[in-house]
Amino acid sequence: MTVDLSSPFHIGPVEIPSRLVLAPMAGVSVQAFRRQGRQHGAGLVCSEMVSCQGLHHRNERTLGYLRIAEDERPLAVQIFGSDPAVMAEAATMVEAAGADILDMNFGCPVPKVTKTGAGATLLEQPDEAAAIVSAVCEAIDIPVTVKMRRGLRDGSRAALEVGPRLVEAGASALTLHPRSAKQMYTGHADHTLTAELVELVDVPVIASGDVATYADARDLFEQTGCAAVMVGRAAQGNPWVLGQMLDPDAPPPLPEEVVAELVYFMRETMRELGEQRAEGFLKKFYGWYLTRGRFPRSFKQELVQLATLSDVEERLFGAVPGARDRVVALEVERPPAPDQTLELPISIYGGG
């Protein structure tokens, strides 16, 4: 089987230009991260999960997740919750904000989510899960997708039982991360379940879990027949992995490229979140960009001690002077795209 990850596929009427989907990751998938993913080859990018209760109560921080830029399309906004009516209301807000796809999280393993009856808990409650999908599909016109784990417990096959019911209720695609909620991110994803799910449903199945290289993606396509693969942690601070999956012969990035991409990402994140929020948010990204054998670990530790983002920039340029011109080039190549948003308080948009 020849795997062409650059070929398009469809979720409902929405064309996805490559077989790579950038995962929704809490505390990571801000707009700057999603735009970067699209620029490096992701066919579909996803927001971090958004609380439907937060949208229902018009929480400003939650509403801020509905900030959408034209150059990140196609974009899925992911919501979570357990009440069909509130989920449907949140879905209408996501559609109004301009999302191309509405995704629902039926896989989050974090206790503060599962104890509310949301996330992976819904895999063990197929009637409730199907009712939520049905309510959301009736409320909006854009495609609805669902991201699942295998179930709450190790060895569970709940996803195979509930998945077809979600499609009957209107889901246009399913994503399966075949670890249990109990596993969190340990062990290995059991993609034999992904292959079984592909046989059970007639909508695209996106395979998630343990996708870090072209070989991983190729093997998943061959072994499961999935429509696309979802790339998560492997792309944190490493957007080049997406391009390398599309072109296995692509060279690794030069130090100048790494630093330039990091500085550009810092500036875009600061524009999105404002300087105060961005300073804390970005600290984890220094290690993600600069490790992987690219720079000494001590360099990352030095950066997190600096007082301001301007100080971090200057230290990066001092270490790799050639990166400065590359940042200028990136800003010319990728000017900020207009945001399409709801009529929301300007305080939501960070620095404005």
Residues with catalytic function: 108
Task: Dig out the tokens for 295 from the structure.
Answer: 């720079």
Helix, strand, coil proportions of the chain in percent (round to 5)? 50, 15, 35
In 3D, which of 314, 271, 316 has the Cα closest to residue 289? 316
Q: What residues contact 5, with CB distance under 8 A and at least 6 apart?
A: 18, 19, 20, 214, 217, 229, 245, 246
Sign of CA dihedral 70, 75, 78, 79: positive
User: What pairs with residue 223 in β-bridges?
Assistant: none
Q: What residues contact 337, with CB distance under 8 A and at least 6 apart?
A: 35, 69, 70, 71, 72
What whole-number distance in Å separates Cα of residue 314 and Cα of residue 330?
Answer: 17
Q: How far from each other are the two terminal CA atoms of the chain, in whole angstroms?
A: 49
Q: What residues contact 55, with CB distance under 8 A and at least 6 apart?
A: 62, 63, 66, 79, 89, 90, 93, 94
In 3D, which of 232, 147, 233 has the Cα closest to residue 194? 147
